[in-house]
C-alpha cells in the first residue's frame, strides 16, 4: 500500500509562497490559518535555505496521541485526518506537534479557539467524498479525484514533492545523484562565489 | 484559637460537606457514570485509501524526475 508523504527539496525552494496561497485558495482556508508555511533559515545571508512546511502526516502522530477526544484517524494510505465534529478545541495537539501544523480559527483559551484546522493532504475528512459538507469543513478532496495535493502540483521550481513515499524518495535520490552536493542551480557560483559554504 | 479563625474553619467545613454531597448526587444521577467511555472508531469507508496512480499522478512523477529530461 502506498504511503503518502511530502518532501521539500530545500535546494530548489525559492520562498515564493505560492504553495501557501494555492492551499488557502483551494480549500477556502479562513483568515488567520495557514495550513502550509514557508520557513527560511539564515534569511538574507548567502546560502539561505527555505523549506515549505505543513502537516507531515506522521506515522505515529503525536497529535493523535495527546487528543483527549480521540478525533484523529489515519487512512489506509497513511494520511492523518481528524473529525471537526469531535474536536473540542483544547489545543493539546498544537502543543504536541513538532511542526506547528494544528491551528485554530480564533485566539483564546481552552475550548474557545474553535475547531482545529490542519493540512488534510487534500484528502478531505470523515464526510462523504467530494460532498458539500466535506468541502465546508475540510476543503477539497483532490486525492479522491485522482490528483495529488495542489501545493506540490503547482510548485514552479518543483521543490515540493508529494505522493507515494517510495516514488518521491526515488525522484529526490535521482536529483541528488545528478546535481551532486549543493543546489546545482544555474548561476549559483556567479552569485555566491566558489567559497560559499553550503 | 481566635473566634474569627473558628468561623473561617466552619465555613470551609460547610462548603466541603456541601461539595461532597452534591458530587455524590450528580454521580449517582448521571447516565454518563453508568456507561463506559468509547473511543471514536472511524469506519472502513473513512479510512479507505483514496490515492490512485492515475495518469494525472503519473504525469506529476514523470515531470518531477530527471529521467524526463533525457527522453
- Which of A70, A74, A123 is closest, CB to CB, to B40? A70
**Mean pLDDT score, A108-137:** 92
Residue of higher predicted confidence among A112 and A75: A75
With b for 16 or more beta-carbon neighbours within 10 A and e for fewer, the A79-115 pattern comes to bbbbbbeebebbbbbbeebebebbbbbeeeeeeebbb
CB contact at 8 A, A122 and A142: yes
Which residue in A6, A115, A90 sits closest to A55, CA to CA?
A: A6
Query: If pLDDT is split at 50, 70 and 90, which confidence band does A11 have?
Result: confident
Among all residues of chain A, which has the CA nearest to that of B50? A144
Q: Lowest-confidence range among A144-153, A165-174, A187-196? A: A187-196
Domain ranges of chain B: 1-33
Query: If pLDDT is split at 50, 70 and 90, which confidence band does A155 have?
Result: very high
How much is the pLDDT for B39?
Answer: 63
Average pLDDT, chain A: 90
How many C-beta atoms lie closer than 10 Å to residue B52's C-beta?
Answer: 14
Residue the block writes with cell 514523470: B62
How much is the pLDDT for A50?
Answer: 94
How many C-beta atoms lie closer than 10 Å to residue A132's C-beta?
Answer: 9
CB contact at 8 A, A38 and A21: no
- Give per-residue pLDDT as tens, A13-47: 999 999 999 999 999 998 889 999 999 999 998 87
pLDDT exceeds cutoff 60 at B33 = no
Q: Lowest-confidence range among A30-39, A83-92, B3-12? A: B3-12
Percent of chain A clearing pLDDT 70 (strictly above): 90
- Give per-residue pLDDT as tens, A100-120: 999 999 988 877 889 999 999
Rounded to 5 degrees, what are φ and ψ at B2? Answer: -80, 160
- Which of A77, A126, A163 is closest, CB to CB, to B60? A163
Query: If pLDDT is split at 50, 70 and 90, which confidence band does B41 have?
Result: confident
Among all residues of chain A, which has the CA nearest to that of B64? A158
Query: If pLDDT is split at 50, 70 and 90, which confidence band does B10 have?
Result: confident
Q: Lowest-confidence range among A37-41, A121-125, A188-192? A: A188-192
Among A57-66, A167-176, B12-21, which range has the highest average pLDDT? A57-66
CB contact at 8 A, A3 and A164: yes
How many C-beta atoms lie closer than 10 Å to residue B44's C-beta?
Answer: 7
Q: Please give the DSSP secondary-structure letter assigned to residue B65.
A: S
Which residue numbers of A have CB closer than 8 Å to B's CBs? Answer: 1-2, 4, 69-71, 73-77, 79, 81, 83, 86, 123, 126, 129, 141, 143-144, 146-148, 152-153, 158, 161, 163-164, 167-168, 170-171, 174-175, 178
- Which of A77, A129, A171 is closest, CB to CB, to B61? A171
User: pTM for the full model?
Assistant: 0.79
ipTM: 0.88
Query: What's the CA gap between A82 and A70, in Å, rounded?
Result: 9
Q: Kindly list the structural domains of chain A, giving each domain's residue range(s) and its CATH number in brackets, ordered by start.
A: 4-192 (3.30.70.20)
pLDDT exceeds cutoff 80 at B69 = no
CB contact at 8 A, A97 and A82: no
Q: Helix/strand/coil (H, E, C) string of chain A?
A: CCCEEEEECCCCCCCCCHHHHHHHHHHCCCCCCCCCEEEEECCCCCCCEEEEECCCCCCCCHHHHHCCCCCEEECCCCCEEECCCCCCCCCHHHHHCCCCCCECCCCCCCCCCCCCECCCCCECCCCCCCCHHHHHHHCCECCCCCCCCHHHHCCCCCCEEEEEHHHHHHHHHHHHHHHCCCCCCCCHHHHHCCCCCC
Query: If pLDDT is split at 50, 70 and 90, which confidence band does B61 have?
Result: very high
With b for 16 or more beta-carbon neighbours within 10 A and e for fewer, the B6-40 pattern comes to eeeeeeeeeeeeeeeeeeeeeeeeeeeeeeeeeee
**Mean pLDDT score, B34-63:** 84
Residues of chain A contacting B46 with CB distance shorter than 8 Å:
73, 75, 81, 126
Residues of chain B contacting A123 with CB distance shorter than 8 Å:
50
- Give per-residue pLDDT as tens, A49-65: 899 999 999 999 999 99
CB contact at 8 A, A135 and B45: no
How much is the pLDDT for A125?
Answer: 93
Amino acid at each position: 500500500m502506498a504511503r503518502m508523504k511530502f518532501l521539500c527539496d530545500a535546494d530548489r525552494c525559492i520562498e515564493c509562497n505560492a504553495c501557501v496561497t494555492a492551499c488557502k485558495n483551494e480549500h477556502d482556508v479562513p483568515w488567520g490559518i495557514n495550513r502550509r508555511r514557508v520557513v527560511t533559515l539564515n534569511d538574507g545571508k548567502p546560502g539561505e535555505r527555505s523549506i515549505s512546511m505543513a502537516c507531515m502526516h506522521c506515522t505515529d502522530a503525536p497529535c493523535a496521541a495527546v487528543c483527549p477526544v480521540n478525533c484523529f484517524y489515519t487512512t489506509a494510505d497513511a494520511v492523518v485526518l481528524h473529525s471537526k465534529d469531535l474536536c473540542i478545541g483544547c489545543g493539546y495537539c498544537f502543543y504536541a506537534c513538532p511542526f506547528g501544523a494544528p491551528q485554530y480559527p480564533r485566539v483564546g483559551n481552552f475550548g474557545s479557539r474553535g475547531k482545529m484546522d490542519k493540512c488534510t493532504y487534500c484528502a478531505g475528512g470523515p464526510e462523504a467524498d467530494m460532498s458539500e459538507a466535506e468541502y465546508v469543513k475540510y476543503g477539497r478532496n483532490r486525492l479522491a479525484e485522482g490528483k495529488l495535493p495542489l501545493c506540490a502540483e503547482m510548485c514552479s521550481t518543483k521543490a515540493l514533492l508529494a505522493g507515494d513515499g517510495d516514488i518521491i524518495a526515488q525522484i529526490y535520490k535521482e536529483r541528488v545523484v545528478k546535481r551532486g552536493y549543493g543546489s546545482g542551480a544555474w548561476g549559483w557560483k556567479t552569485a555566491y562565489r566558489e567559497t560559499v559554504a553550503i | 484559637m481566635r473566634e474569627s479563625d473558628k468561623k473561617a474553619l466552619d465555613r470551609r467545613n460547610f462548603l466541603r460537606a456541601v461539595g461532597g454531597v452534591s458530587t455524590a448526587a450528580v454521580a449517582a444521577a448521571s447516565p454518563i457514570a453508568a456507561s463506559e467511555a468509547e473511543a471514536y472508531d472511524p469506519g472502513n469507508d473513512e479510512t479507505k485509501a483514496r490515492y490512485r496512480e492515475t495518469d494525472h499522478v503519473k504525469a506529476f512523477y514523470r515531470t518531477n524526475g530527471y529521467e524526463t529530461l533525457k527522453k
